[in-house]
Structure 1
Amino acid sequence: MRARPSSDASLRFRRITRNDSMKRTVCLLTILSSLLHNAFGAQPPADATGAWPHSIPCRIQDSSNPDLFVMTLGDVETPIADGVFNPVKDEVTLKGGSVKSNYYRDVLGVKQYQPLDKSRFPLPPSGWCTWYYYYNRINEIEVKRNAQWIAENLKDYGAQYVQIDDGWQGSGGRNGGRDWTTGNPQRFPDGMTDLAAHIKSLGLTPGLWLAPHGQSNPNVVSNSPNIFLLKPDGTTASDTWEGRFLVDPTTPESLAYMKDLFTKLAGWGYEYFKIDGQPIVVDEYRAKKQFMKNPSDDAVGLYRKTLESIRSAIGPDRYLLGCWGTPLEGAGIMNGSRTGGDIVLGWGGFQVALRPTMQYYYLHNIAWYSDPDVMLVRSPLSLDQARVWATLQGLTGQALMSSDRLMDLSEERVELMRRVYPATDIRPLDLFPSERDKRIWDLKVNHLGRHYDVVGVFNFGTEKTEHTRLNWKELGLPTDKPVHVFDFWNKEYLGAWSEGMIVDVAPTSCRVLTLLPGTDQIQLISTSRHITQGWVDLTALGQNETGDTFRGTSKVIKNDPYELRFAFPRGTNYIVKQATAHTASGDLPVKTFNHQGWAVVQISSPTTTEAKWEVQFEPADLYHFPPSEPANLSVERVGLDGVNLIWREQYYLNVGYQAYLDGNLLGYTPTARFPIRGLNPNSNYTAQVKTVWEDGRESPRSAEAKFTLASMIPAQMSLTQIEPLRSTGRWRGFEADEMLSGTQLMLGEKHYERGLNSFAGSEIEFELHGLYDNFSALAGLDASSSTNATTEFLVIGDGQELWRSGTLKQSDEPKSVTVKIAGVNKLILRTTGAGGRRNRAQADWAEPKVSKENQ
């Protein structure tokens, strides 16, 4: 470590602190409002302020790339926004000035919408839940062991809550433990009050799960007149998962019972309450009106009165989390809510968390804090799969609760947790649901004068590597300058490239890339503390006018080496001349790592504290290897509008290749493959590929290939080989060549290798470009459907109905369909009906083919 330099008055720094940033929020929002108005005439609301709720940029539909999923952190401006959302007025102002009023209430269907109150809970909760390791076999000793581990290993990273799930109460047994008035003395012998106090003594916050509207103890019911829904003979009128008895919401005694219950639990010391089974309660209130003391048709209003009783007991400073599906009826009273089903251990469990993130993320940090269920990182998840799960949490900022036995995790899996705790103040740019599992997640960050994107590129498939193109223009990044790229999980700089790049992603894995538009000066591109790369840790940042010296302040964690990663202007090179760091207690050890094009400064601290640091650079030589042209370029057709450019890997040294189409640069790829999509099948194209070096210099000559897609398209093609334009419906919308559950399609007693499967009530849309004359398939309900399931199949061509099956039952023979589709551009396969837990209707289009006449 070098000695700390003395103050140099000749160095004038552009320095921004987090407090400065907060003070300038109003100014930044005013600038954003002006820019949006100047750009497309949208006048943002006049009441935009720096404190939430304030107006935010938004998208209300997909762009030309349906795989793009966008969120923001800080006061972000982006050209890909459709307009501005005012959360107070519930109003979207679009390009051109048109207004969508009551956007959440009417367009998105959140009838009880009101903007989230962030005054007591400015961030979503981060912590640990007992359920997905211990289920209802949890005990006092295991809670204390995990809490101790959190206090020693994860508290400094932002983990705060220890939530005890099912098993603490009454008898504690499954289906029998619905008595919330007492704890289980066998599993919690010291009592729930003592346990809460112990958790608090560790600097953590205790929480409890319960299904409070239900009750299973008949003694409690008999001693509580006018509180539960009963038949005239005194037996229960509602026996559900929620409990053998259900609270009658129409009596003062019932509301007092709810208030007294939570007053008691809060008195035990608990400050976080997860209330389960909420949609069951609303459904029962709709169905059991005749058993209410004061019958009412307003089931939602009655339900909300019970929530208000809970809130009156726990007050505004305790966290209330709804659970079971997506209980929108609790919006405005709940601080947060689960938005999907229960996860399971394994890759399928991750997909359970992915689905509500796609469908309901528009609610997060606007109406409430969304909770897609817990994050798991333990085996049998591979390390790559665990990293995907951690990335989902880190890039969305949703409630972050782990549920492994923390003491058993390996160091590499704990490391994943460190990089995503705590949940941060991220919210969606995309204020609309998606039925598509999107693969490009773009977190746009504005922090301390740094404007950068943290982009997750995902491969949710299990079989093959995907080659995904990131297009800078689609992401709203500048196309007139190179963009620096840093790989967060792999801790390496990937260069600075124009227009875009190809990202190779192995099955069930992801890449997280930081994208920073380049300038003519050295730039801080990444920090190691958190996946947001600066938001959590960096509190001040300055750079002198010549650009060769940085000063900053960072929050560092004890015994966790903290890295500052710097990128140099393309075509230049520097080394760290001097780097120092210190705290109020003295100097800290610093290491430097110099690489061509970038450098790393690593700071270590024996305590969790705030450190001031300074880094000075000096010029260094730049090595250049002259690239030679690639060879053997070929064109491989993909679907109806895409190709893959493939060539022989270069023998001589290079850092990759740049691809061109008709003379226009498309972007960079590190490997000998470049996918191109969205082509006109009838156009003639010329593709070129050049080898490139780190400084952007290319090979003098290129490999070249000419092609026309129409000449490469086969006379007959399965629709399972064509990527749909869109799909709607439950889960992922549809699955090709297998069931949504992963099993083989089956109509009657026959299995089919090719086919499209979806739940009833879905659409799958294809762009055919008028290339085919006929469509054929076998349509029917899969053998796995419920015996009472029904649906109807329709074929739509360019908006016109071409064929309708009539209503089909699960027991009916599948119907053969052959339809003329000459000249059709957009083909839609539609099924009707909704299905549900008691009516599982899975619709199959077996052997769906398009073909040309006389072929």
Structure 2
Amino acid sequence: MTAATLPTVPMRLEGTVLATRPGRAASPARPGVAETWLDASRVSVLHGLTTGDVYRNGQNSWSPTGWRPLDGPPLRVADPRRRQTADDTRWDDPLRHHSSWLLAVTGSGPGGPESTTTYLLGCLEGDTPRLHADRDVLAAWTETGRRATWVLLEGGEEDVFARYRDLLAERYGVLEADPGAVWSSWYSLYETVSRADLDAIVPRLPGLGFDTVQLDDGWEELVGDWTPNAKFAAGMADVASLIADHGMRPGLWVAPFIALPGSRLARRNPQLLLRDADGVPVRAGSNWGSHYHALDLTRPDAVQHVVETVSRIVHEWGFTYLKLDFVNAGAVAGARAQDVDREAAYRAGLQAIRDAVGPDVYLLGSGAPVFPSLGVLNAVRTGPDVAPMWDNYASDDPSDAMARNALVNGVNRLWMRGLVGLDPDVVYFRRRRNLLSDEQMQWLRDCAVLSAFRAVSDPPDWIEPGDLPALRAFLTTTPETERLGRYAYRVGERVVDFGPAVDGGAALYPL
């Protein structure tokens, strides 16, 4: 498609078009895509589509992401208590489709199917960028009201997402690193994990093809107090040595931006906590049977505390893979010590971690706001926690810990591969303590292959001998892949259709 044959769907822009980039010019890098660059605090597009779908991207790892009918209700977390943890509660909209940092609409205009096109409006640089769409308008703004750089891309669905990914990669860079196959303690041992468990499990992992062992939540005294508990009496350097002595990379879970109310940090250093306009510590989310607080990352002493924490883990204990969890708390709304955009404050805290640990430590963000993490984190979790069950009759929350929710988000964020590492969470090979069908487990494995991130939490003793060859093959082989459609891919010699998994769950999500 040439510039002369670009789609003719009616479109009107409001905003300031950058003089250096002519409006609605064909992309020099991707034929068939028209791009318009804008410098504005607010942008609105009269998209002219009469039917179609809208793509919503959630703010952080756990936030629901995917496609919905343009004339239907939005994809969102309905429970405000859960939303505080799993999405951005400030800009929630129960009526309009809303999104963080990009939003796309695709469908037909007045000309019918022949006029089918996709518009993607995305931020390239700006303060907490947010967007919404309805049947007429696609709109975007920055939370602070400061000007931002936006790009409007018009063309085929796959092409506009690819072009946006490339533009972000050019601007922020890509931290190319591969942790190999990861074994995580969480989805088997949870908070009961002990040094005795690791003594029994770690020696068996190299022979199965694992490269990294990541000890998850359960090692610390209390969230916010990052010292080992009685189950790890020999200390954390001893754990890292155990893993390294078996030829694998030591990894550790930590949530450096939060603290439980009962932690020593919150009780002895309350000045480090983010507060609201009335001076009360912000409740940044809920877990561990409680709310938790966030650190104010515009305070030098709070950032210094974070730096000391991660420096001890890396430089004293010897862990070179960090799963940074609940980091979205660094970007929640509050009255910060300095007048800084909240996502910029989060990025500054993240950058302080990167500077402290160095370029060779693998940083994975869970609960990570994706846009302000680009160029700092090696990888982000792409969905909610997985679970050994497909769904839960007691929950219709799309951010809840269920295999289907993790898969839906993971598949709908595959377009970001090549921009940042994508962690769709662990897959399962065990048969016990597992309610997933063979088809559902295969969907999870295929999404992991397409994401180029392989992680398992099953202890070897939980896997039947007949399933061990499949585990080894999953961990050690890399089949060729190809995108065939929105939810269809070729993985090796197989064609994988995620459509039944994605569409089958859509009606159960809260509308």
Tell whether the structures are fold-level matches, with TM greater than 0.5: yes
CA distance in 2, matches of 1:245, 1:161: 30
Equivalents in 2 of 1:211, 1:221: separation in Å? Answer: 14
- Shift of the 347–164 alpha-carbon distance from structure 1 to 2, 3 Å rule, reads same
1:209 aligns to what?
Answer: 253
Alignment of 1:150-229 (within 5 A): 150-151=205-206, 153-155=207-209, 159-170=210-221, 177-185=222-230, 187-216=231-260, 217-221=262-266, 223-224=268-269, 226-229=271-274
Matched to 1:352, the amino acid is: N
Secondary structure class of the residue paired with 2:253: strand
- Any conservation in 2 of the 1:42–1:94 contact (CA below 8 Å)? no
Amino acid at match of 1:116: V
Partner residue in 2 for 1:455: 494
How much has 1:143 moved relative to structure 2? 1.9
Which residue of 1 is the match for residue 373 of structure 2?
330
Matched-pair contact (CA < 8 Å) for 1:390–1:416? no
Alpha-carbon distance in 2 for matches of 1:95, 1:295: 39
Letter in 1 for 2:452: Q
2:320 equivalent to 1:320? no
Mapped partners of 2:214, 2:427: distance in 1: 14
Aligned equivalent of 1:126: 181
Structure 2 residue matching 1:162: 3-state secondary structure: strand
Distance verdict in 2 for CA 1:154–1:293, change over 3 Å: same
Cα deviation, 1:121-156, whole Å, max 9, x if unaligned, reads: 2x35411111111111111111222211102x223x
Number of residues of Structure 1 aligned to a counterpart in Structure 2? 352
Aligned to 1:373, what secondary structure does the other structure show?
A: coil
Unaligned runs of 5+ in 2: 1-25, 31-51, 54-66, 68-117, 119-123, 125-149, 392-401
In structure 1, what is the equivalent of residue 404 of structure 2? 351
Q: Which amino acid aligns with 1:241?
A: S
SS of 2:305's partner is: helix
Cα shift at 1:245:
3.0
Q: CA–CA distance in 2 between the matches of 1:250 and 1:147? A: 40
Counterpart mapping for 1:3-42 below 5 A:
none
Deviation at 1:343, TM superposition (A): 0.9
Give the structure 2 partner of residue 511 of structure 1.
none
Deviations 1:424-465 (A, max 9, x none): 5978758x9x5xxx3x4224xxxxxxxxx633345876xxxx
Structure 1 counterpart SS, 2:272: coil
What SS does the aligned partner of 2:502 have?
Answer: coil
Alignment of 1:391-402 (within 5 A): 391-394=446-449, 396-402=450-456
Separation in structure 2 between the aligned mates of residue 316 and residue 426 of structure 1, nearest angstrom:
29
Equivalent position SS for 1:181: strand
Equivalent residue for 1:270? 319
Matched-pair contact (CA < 8 Å) for 2:424–2:451: no
1:147 aligns with 2:232: no
- Out of 257, 268, 285, which is 1:240 matched to? 285
Residues 229, 245 of structure 1: 8 Å contact kept: yes
Aligned partners of 1:234, 1:208: CA distance in 2, in Å? 33
Alignment of 1:544-583 (within 5 A): none
Q: Is the CA contact 1:149–1:407 (under 8 Å) kept in the aligned structure 2?
A: no
Q: Shift of the alpha carbon at 1:246?
A: 1.7
Please say if 1:409 is aligned against 2:463. Answer: yes
Q: How far did residue 210 of structure 1 move?
A: 1.7
TM-score w.r.t. the length of structure 2 is: 0.60
Residue 385 and residue 415 in structure 1: after superposition, are their counterparts in 2 closer, same or farther (change >3 A)?
A: farther
Matched residue type, 1:251 = R
Deviations 1:530-556 (A, max 9, x none): xxxxxxxxxxxxxxxxxxxxxxxxxxx
Deviations 1:583-642 (A, max 9, x none): xxxxxxxxxxxxxxxxxxxxxxxxxxxxxxxxxxxxxxxxxxxxxxxxxxxxxxxxxxxx
- Alignment CA distance shift 1:146-1:113 (3 Å): farther
Q: Sequence identity, in percent? A: 23
**Structure 1 stretches of 4+ moved >4 Å:** 41-45, 90-96, 99-102, 110-113, 230-235, 382-385, 423-430, 458-461
Conserved? CA contact 2:380–2:421, under 8 Å: yes
Note closer, same or farther for the CA distance 1:236–1:404 as it changes in structure 2 (3 Å cut).
same
In structure 2, C-alpha distance between the alignment counterparts of 1:383 and 1:377, rounded to whole Å? 9
Aligned partner of residue 344 in structure 1, secondary structure: coil
Does the CA-based 8 Å contact 2:179-2:211 persist in structure 1?
no
Asked if the contact 1:241–1:277 (Cα under 8 Å) also holds between the matched residues in 2, the reply is no
Contact 1:278 1:327 in 2 (8 A): no
C-alpha distance in 2, partners of 1:115/1:426?
A: 25
RMSD between superposed Cα atoms in Å: 4.0
1:350 to partner: Cα distance:
3.9
For structure 1, the residue ranges without an aligned partner over 5 or more in a row are 1-40, 46-60, 67-81, 171-176, 444-452, 462-730, 742-756, 760-839, 842-855
TM-score computed with the length of structure 1 as normaliser: 0.37
> Kindly tell me: are residues 429 and 150 of structure 1, through their superposed partners in 2, closer, same or farther at Cα, counting changes over 3 Å?
same
Written as runs of structure 1 = structure 2, the 5 A alignment for 1:475-554 is none
1:406 aligned partner, one-letter code: P
Report whether the alignment pairs 1:249 with 2:297: yes
**Partner amino acid for 1:104?**
Y
Change (3 A) 1:112 1:188: farther
Give, in angstroms, the shift of residue 275 of structure 1.
1.2
Q: Corresponding residue for 2:425?
A: 373
**Aligned-pair CA distance for 1:165:** 0.8
CA distance 1:424–1:457, change in 2 (3 Å): closer
Change (3 A) 1:94 1:301: closer
CA distance in 1, matches of 2:373, 2:211: 24
1:262 alignment partner, SS class: helix
Give the alignment partner of residue 164 of structure 2, picking from 95, 104, 114: 104
Q: What's the offset of the Cα at 1:111? A: 11
The change in CA–CA distance for 1:224 and 1:326 in structure 2 (over 3 A counts) is: closer
Q: 1:419 to 1:198 in 2, by over 3 A?
A: same
Task: Quote the Cα distance in structure 2 between the aligned partners of 1:161 and 1:44.
Answer: 37
Q: Which amino acid aligns with 2:219?
A: W
Deviation at 1:43, TM superposition (A): 6.9
CA drift of 1:354 comes to: 2.2
CA distance in 1, matches of 2:442, 2:479: 21
Distance between the aligned counterparts of 2:502 and 2:181, measured in 1?
28
Deviation digits for residues 92-120 of structure 1 (CA, Å, limit 9, x no counterpart): 99999xx979942799xx799634222xx
SS of 2:367's equivalent?
Answer: coil
Q: Which has the larger radius of gyration?
A: 1
> What's the counterpart of residue 117 of structure 1?
175
- Structure with more helix by fraction: 2
Cα separation, 2, equivalents of 1:423 and 1:337? 22
Q: Which residue of 2 aligns with 1:136?
A: 191
Cα distance, 1:211–1:360 mapped onto 2, change above 3 Å: same
Give distance in 2, aligned partners of 1:265 and 1:367: 27
Q: CA deviation at 1:180?
A: 3.8
* Residue matched to 2:352: 309
Are the equivalent residues in 2 in contact too, given 1:162–1:204 (CA < 8 A)?
Answer: yes
Contact 2:296/2:330 (<8 A) preserved: no
SS at match of 2:493: strand
CA 1:220/1:325 → structure 2, altered by over 3 Å: closer, same or farther? closer
Shift of the 146–101 alpha-carbon distance from structure 1 to 2, 3 Å rule, reads: closer
Contact 1:231-1:237 within 8 A present in 2 as well:
yes
Amino acid across the alignment from 1:264: R
Distance 1:409 1:218, change over 3 A: closer
Deviations 1:31-76 (A, max 9, x none): xxxxxxxxxx99759xxxxxxxxxxxxxxx99xxx9xxxxxxxxxx
Higher RCO by CA contacts (8 Å cutoff, separation 6 or greater):
2
What letter is aligned with 2:216?
D
Letter of the structure 1 residue corresponding to residue 457 of structure 2: S
Q: Which amino acid aligns with 1:455?
A: R
User: How far is the alpha carbon of 1:249 from its aligned partner?
Assistant: 1.2
